Amino acid sequence: MGRSEKSHFWFRVFWQALSVFLLAVILGMVINMSCSTGLNPVRPRVLEQSSTADTSPAFEITLDEAFSIFNTGKAVFLDARSPETYDNGHIPGALNLPWNEFEERCDKVLGPVPPDTLVITYCDGEGCPLGDYLAEELTTGGYFNVRVLTSGWIGWIKEGFPLEKND
């Protein structure tokens, strides 16, 4: 293929690819605007509108509140992280219900926990939605007293609160 034919080929590549991209942008924006499940393209934080990981203010519990409740021993803490991470350090007395193994473990872990118990779920911290996911599952499963410690493990440790390890 001569040089002019090669450049003709790449010319086609460029325009065809660009056309697909632009068409996708137009289609995407139009369908999104006309659809009730659409997203706001300009809104910065996706989590603000994602129903699956939205910690509504009613659900959230602050570190201080969680700590005072911890001291009364009246709540069950649920650690949503993986078993290995849990073993390396968790809130004393917390039960491990890894989100990735929810189906397999939920009966065993939650069986002895009555539905009116105050349950506080947590994960790493602000960036991790697993605590929220656990809380939602629990709520649909009949637990009506569920809170999420959004500051999570990182927040707990930063305050120097007690921890427990499994060796």
List residues near another protein by CB under 8 A: 1-2, 5, 9, 12-21, 23-25, 27-29, 31-32, 37-47, 49-53, 81-82, 84-85, 88, 99-101, 123-124, 127-130
Tokens of 76: 């069950």
Q: Which C-beta is closer to another protein: that of 75 or that of 121?
A: 121
99: closest CA among 150, 134, 129?
134
Q: At closest approach, how far in Å is the CB of 5 from another protein? A: 5
121: closest CA among 142, 90, 159?
90
Phi, psi of 120 (to 5 degrees): -115, 115
Q: At closest approach, how far in Å is the CB of 142 from another protein? A: 24
Q: At closest approach, how far in Å is the CB of 112 from another protein? A: 25
Q: To 10 degrees, what angle do helices 130-140 and 102-110 make?
A: 60
Q: Which C-beta is closer to another protein: that of 75 or that of 98?
A: 98
Going 121 to 48 to 154 to 58, the CA torsion angle's sign is: negative
Q: At closest approach, how far in Å is the CB of 45 from another protein? A: 6
Q: At closest approach, how far in Å is the CB of 165 from another protein? A: 13
Q: Which C-beta is closer to another protein: that of 110 or that of 128?
A: 128
CB atoms within 10 A of CB 23: 10
Q: Which C-beta is closer to another protein: that of 2 or that of 114?
A: 2
Instruction: Give the amino acid at 118.
Output: L
Q: Which C-beta is closer to another protein: that of 51 or that of 140?
A: 51
Tokens of 6: 């090669």
Strand pairing class (118-122; 75-79):
parallel
